[in-house]
Structure 1
């Protein structure tokens, strides 16, 4: 029952944080939607800040885990690795649309919780993207570019639909939670990788295998 209550609290919090924002949601609101009392929330998360931290950690632990899993096979090629990571991250975000949207929205607000997240998970994300780009340059898969700007551009492509869902609807006539969106948008990001990053120099596969 305790685990069920915890899951219900997290589900309710994600829904309300997404709809009303963190500051616009009270513990009583969450308790009411989750059908628990406020003491149960205090037992599992201490307070609303603790619940927010949990949601951040839940999101980013899985997010970084997906990067780590695919990066382990970087020797298959930098381009292949980057495309597979992008596909996994986009799928994860689409599957968890509400959580993704509210996390990114709250990440734009300067707070102690956000600074702590930035100092851990964001640095890990940057590390993996940087290593992929460096390998791509080393193996002549990618044209030389400024790595910081590549990271910013790619991160922008991954975040934008979930931070500006209504704008995406106006431009693409589709919301990120619709199945067609993921399929179409992934093709567009892969096109960006092919045309912005990739070089026409033949790749020596033997040099990639360690």
Structure 2
């Protein structure tokens, strides 16, 4: 589902509008207006607003599993080291795409919606399969603890990140994050390291 440059431009505009006004609150007409195109072009490229959203999700998720599997395959590195890099990868990706996570969450929790996000959920399962195999290999190597709720590890990363994301004013004051640059650095260093320590404490045997 590779997008051309014009499709990517439309997707970026739609993503911003969906995040700001919600899926229902964003019309195809508004997307076309903000993108500087006519409505027919959206129909031509995507077919419908629902299909546009599906393309958006797929586009944002592309390449993640490749990056994840590349880290896992580095057998010359220790399990804790690879775990830390997996955490950093997740934090970096969700921070970069936090708007799309917000949109998908809103739509998945809307019981009246017919959207299924089959590709999104399928990709999440594949990512979980990769993480599960990695954790199980670490258990066999007696690095990771035996009884681990593996499906809850990724939500632990996401939950910590989004708690920070939705309470930014509080943390800006607590940590003196007065500029966008200082906030980005905090996420890349302090927040990421905290989540890494948290997951290591949860699943790694103490030395």
* TM-score past 0.5 threshold: yes
Deviation at 1:107, TM superposition (A): 3.7
Deviates more, 1:128-137 or 1:154-163: 154-163
Aligned counterpart in structure 1 of residue 198 of structure 2, from 189, 192, 196 = 192
2:161 matched residue in structure 1: 161
1:26 matched residue in structure 2: 27
Deviates more, 1:178-187 or 1:101-110: 101-110
Structure 1 alignment gaps of length 5 or more = 202-210
1:125 matched residue in structure 2: 127
**Counterpart secondary structure, 1:114:** coil
Aligned counterpart in structure 2 of residue 183 of structure 1, from 186, 189, 192 = 189
Q: CA, structure 1 residues 72+9, in 2 after alignment: closer, same or farther (shift >3 Å)?
A: same
The TM-score, its normalising length taken from structure 1, stands at 0.80
Alignment of 1:47-66 (within 5 A): 47-66=48-67
User: Any conservation in 2 of the 1:28–1:38 contact (CA below 8 Å)?
Assistant: yes
User: Any conservation in 2 of the 1:126–1:151 contact (CA below 8 Å)?
Assistant: yes
The TM-score, its normalising length taken from structure 2, stands at 0.81
In structure 1, how many angstroms separate the alpha carbons of the residues matched to 2:122 and 2:76? 26
Alignment of 1:5-44 (within 5 A): 5-44=6-45
In structure 1, how many angstroms separate the alpha carbons of the residues matched to 2:21 and 2:196? 34
In structure 2, how many angstroms separate the alpha carbons of the residues matched to 1:196 and 1:8? 41
User: Any conservation in 2 of the 1:8–1:34 contact (CA below 8 Å)?
Assistant: yes
Structure 2 alignment gaps of length 5 or more = none
CA RMSD of aligned residues (A): 2.7
Aligned residues: 196
Please list the CA deviations of residues 105-135 of structure 1 after superposition, one character each: whole Å capped at 9, or x if unmatched: 3344455543513551121011012112111
In structure 1, how many angstroms separate the alpha carbons of the residues matched to 2:78 and 2:110? 37
Please list the CA deviations of residues 147-182 of structure 1 after superposition, one character each: whole Å capped at 9, or x if unmatched: xx343143232255348733x3255336xx730223
1:88 matched residue in structure 2: 89
Deviation at 1:63, TM superposition (A): 2.6
